[in-house]
Amino acid sequence: MKKPEEILEYLNQKFGEDQLTLERGDIGEPWILVPASMIRDLSKFLRDDSELRFDMLMCLSGLHYLKEEELGVVYHLHSTKLDHYVTLKVRVPVEEPEVPSVESIWKTADWHEREAWDMVGVVFDKHPNLKRILLPDDWIGHPLRKDYVQQEFYQGIPTGE
């Protein structure tokens, strides 16, 4: 069993000191901020390494940071074998919201990434089937963005009052 601090130390030995940072909010567990370019390699390592064995992606969520003009993806990982947890975050600019897909590493990510694309518009690179999961295919925009403006009509039906 490892704590997030110990996991970061272990990862630093493998990936170098200055790539990953541990961040902490006012409450809750700390998270590791990961550059988007290395999320797939890191995920593969987290899953396969004998001291980490994160075999379960509990949740993958999309975020929109309005002020920073960034989109985020949060990965909550759990190891059922070693019973430890870690949270990863990736942040990308709104203009180029491309994050490598981890669908090939955890199958859970398939639908979760589709939801993150549907709701906040994160583009998951190399996802095998990146299309909307909840909203209809011809919907305009990503509704959980903070600056979302609803379309007035959908297929001729008014969406407002």
Partner 1 sequence: MGMLDKKYHDSNIIIVGLESALNWARKNSLWYEQFGLACCAIEMMATAASRYDFDRFGIIPRSSPRQADVMIVAGTVTMKMASRIERLYEQMSEPRYVISMGSCSNCGGPYWEHGYHVLKGVDKVIPVDVYVPGCPPRPEALLEGFLKLQEKITGETIIVKKNEADKKPETA
* Footprint of partner 1 (CB under 8 A): 135-136, 143, 148, 150, 154-155, 157-161
Gap between the Cα atoms of 128 and 144, Å rounded? 23
Is 116 in contact with 108 (CB distance < 8 Å)? Answer: no
Least distance to partner 1, CB of residue 20, Å: 36
Of 30 and 143, nearer to partner 1 (C-beta) is: 143
Least distance to partner 1, CB of residue 141, Å: 9
Of 4 and 143, nearer to partner 1 (C-beta) is: 143
Of 127 and 142, nearer to partner 1 (C-beta) is: 142
Least distance to partner 1, CB of residue 118, Å: 11
CB-based contacts of 45-51 (< 8 A; 24+ apart in sequence) = 45/11, 45/14, 45/15, 46/77, 46/86, 47/105, 47/106, 51/2, 51/10, 51/82
